[in-house]
Amino acid sequence: MTTAMTKNVALGVGGGIAAYKAAELARALMERGFSVQVLMTRSAEEFIRPLTFAALTGRKVITSLFSAASAEDTLSSAIEHIRVAQENQVLVIAPATADLLAKLAHGLADDFLTATYLAFTGPVVLAPAMNTNMWNHPATQENLAKLRARGHVIIEPDDGILACGMVGPGRLAEPERIAEAVTAVAETQKHSKADLDHETVLITAGPTQEPLDPVRYLTNRSSGKMGYALAEAAVARGARVILVSGPVSLAAPAGVELVPVRTALEMRKAVLDHLELATIIIKAAAVADYHRVNPPRQKVKKTAARMSLELDPTPDILAEAGRKKGDRLLVGFAAETENLIEEARRKLQSKNCDMVVANLVSQTGIGFESDDNEVTLVLSTGETIPVARASKASIAQRIFDEMLKLRLALHSAK
């Protein structure tokens, strides 16, 4: 049961050195409109005090199954984990230590946080943090596999220098990244949990890199964030997702089938290899328009002379998908600096798309490399739908909302 307070999130804090980052996460969640209820393990209190979270959130921090309650309040205290489980839309645990992951995977409930987990019926987001060897241990990986199989979202830890001095995976993901994942999960809760069930969504994301020689290449400013947000949203809504990604610095969303590529030719092959499986195709990648056909095998040396390059067009993957799409829904992207709607309509018709997501990349603070975007959806029915500035996670949800409405309209028209 969920109460009318649809922006509540329970933040579980495990006992690791990264616990201090949970304070940043609480603030990031509140900035996104969430009311945050913090639940701390006994070990977490050794790293950061409950008072810090109480001051940030304005709410009592829960640290024990049985608080020092008066006799008349004993029953209320004993079932408080049930209330917390019912009142919150999402449960996020950060840091999720190796010990916590093991308890969650095996259903152990010896404190308030783990008892709340067992009573919680909504989506769970886990952000692990631990020593590299602990992360790589087969027991931890088996526990993660169990938790993924339950549909939990796992925010993989970052690589870097850890508190123990080791270098490798295990550092807690940045709070903004975790907050974005929680936001996307919460947005999905507004929809049917299975409105993309039985769908296979093929998504391309990121830039391509076209070699000029062994050390230089042509590329663009695409970060891949929009394509990855779409992939995460599709998985959360029940789809099988195949993500064909150019080189990016993002971790693949949990549950997607990642196909890494580098060049436009590699992306074309990956798209065509998986086209038959797809029911929805979303071409969010920023494919380089030109490439050097036969780049030299050795580095080109710098000289004082002027240099010219012969470049050929890269394959038009969107147009080729448009010719072969059949009954599939095809969505393209148009990143423009002027004449936004006109260019989007031209692409819609020339590439045989059902929808084009258009945005002006000349605006500061949105589009390339940003966490936010502002787009206009141009549909094959003739509609144009402006979508105001929002996080890419939110815009991804809106794209799927309109996409499903569009498909229903197209089917009704036949």
Q: How sure is the predictor about 34, in pLDDT bands with cuts at 50, 70 and 90?
A: very high
- Span of 176-190, 345-359, 381-395 with lowest mean pLDDT: 176-190
Least confident range of 30-39, 72-81, 276-285: 72-81
Exposed, middle or buried: residue 50 (CB in 10 Å: 0-12, 13-18, 19+)?
Answer: middle
Q: Give me the catalytic one of 164, 277, 408, 409.
A: 164
The per-residue pLDDT for 354 is 97
- Statement to judge: residues 376 and 348 lie in one domain: yes
For 59-86, what is the mean pLDDT? 70
pLDDT of 190 = 60
Beta strand pairing call for 372-379 and 384-391: antiparallel
Distance (Å, whole) CA 243 – CA 252: 8
The answer on pLDDT for 278 being more than 70 is: yes
Same domain, 53 and 76: yes
Q: Residue 359 and residue 376: Cα distance in Å, rounded?
A: 6
222 shares a domain with 162: no
179 and 112 in a common domain: yes
Which of 18 and 366 is assigned the larger pLDDT?
Answer: 18
Count the domains in the chain.
2
Task: Look up residue 58 and give its DSSP letter.
Answer: S
Residue 131 has pLDDT above 80, yes or no: yes
Contact 361, 367 (CB under 8 A): yes
353 among known catalytic residues: no
pLDDT, residue 71, reads: 43
Query: Looking at the predicted structure, is the pLDDT value of residue 140 above 80?
Result: yes
Q: In which residue are the tokens 């409109």 written?
A: 33
pLDDT at 193 over 60: no
Task: State percent of the chain over pLDDT 70.
Answer: 92
Q: How much is the pLDDT for 99?
A: 96
In the chain, what is the straight-line distance between the N-terminal and C-terminal CA atoms, in Å? 40
Q: Residue 41, Cα to own-chain centre: how many angstroms?
A: 27
Q: What CATH number is given to the structural domain containing 304? A: 3.40.50.10300
The band of 3, judged by pLDDT with boundaries at 50, 70 and 90, is very low
Rounded to whole angstroms, how far apart are CA atoms 279 and 268?
A: 18
Predicted pLDDT at 189? 65
pLDDT of amino acid 70: 41
Return the pLDDT at 78. 54
Cis before 95 (ω within 30): yes
User: pLDDT higher for 309 or 189?
Assistant: 309
Count CB atoms within 10 A of the CB of residue 310.
8
Q: Which of the two residues, 186 and 36, has the higher pLDDT score?
A: 36
Asked if 312 contacts 290 with a C-beta cutoff of 8 angstroms, the reply is: yes
pLDDT of 219 > 90? The answer is yes
Residue 314 lies in a domain: yes
Name which residue leads in pLDDT, 271 or 409: 271
Q: Are residues 184 and 229 in the same domain?
A: no
- What would the two tokens of residue 401 be? 């909302």
Domain co-membership, 168 together with 283: no
Kindly state whether residues 210 and 157 are assigned to the same domain: no
pLDDT category at 163 given cuts 50, 70, 90 is: low
- The 8-class DSSP code of residue 207 comes to B
What's the gap between Cα 103 and its chain centre?
Answer: 26
Write down the pLDDT at residue 72.
Answer: 46
What does the pLDDT read at residue 170?
79
> Is 1 a domain residue?
no
pLDDT > 90? residue 255: no
Determine the Cα–Cα distance for residues 131 and 187; give it in Å rounded to an integer.
32
Please give the structure tokens belonging to residue 134.
Answer: 């602990």
Does the pLDDT of residue 187 top 70, yes or no? yes
Give the distance, in angstroms, between the CA of residue 302 and the centroid of all CA atoms in the same chain: 41
One-letter amino acid of 70: S
3-state secondary structure 210-242: EECCCCCEECCCCCCHHHHHHHHHHHHCCCEEE
Helix or strand or coil: residue 320? helix
- Predicted local distance difference test score (pLDDT) of residue 2: 36
User: Is the pLDDT score of 385 beyond 80?
Assistant: yes
Share of the chain above pLDDT 90, in %: 65
pLDDT range class, residue 109, cuts 50, 70, 90: very high
Note down the domain range covering 248: 200-413
Using an 8 Å Cβ cutoff, are 215 and 155 in contact?
A: no
Q: What confidence category does residue 79 fall into, taking pLDDT thresholds of 50, 70 and 90?
A: confident
Q: Are residues 383 and 235 in the same domain?
A: yes
What CATH number is given to the structural domain containing 30? Answer: 3.40.50.1950
Distances (CA, A) of 199 to 88, 237, 241, 280, 402: 29, 10, 8, 7, 16
Q: Which residue has the higher pLDDT, 411 or 71?
A: 411
Q: How many residues does the chain have?
A: 414
Report the pLDDT value the prediction gives residue 210, as an integer from 0 to 100.
96
- The answer to whether position 195 is within a domain reads no
Whether residues 170 and 262 fall in one domain: no
Tally Cβ neighbours within 10 Å of residue 146. 15
Query: Which of 188, 221, 252 is at the close of a domain?
Result: 188
Does one domain contain both 159 and 235? no
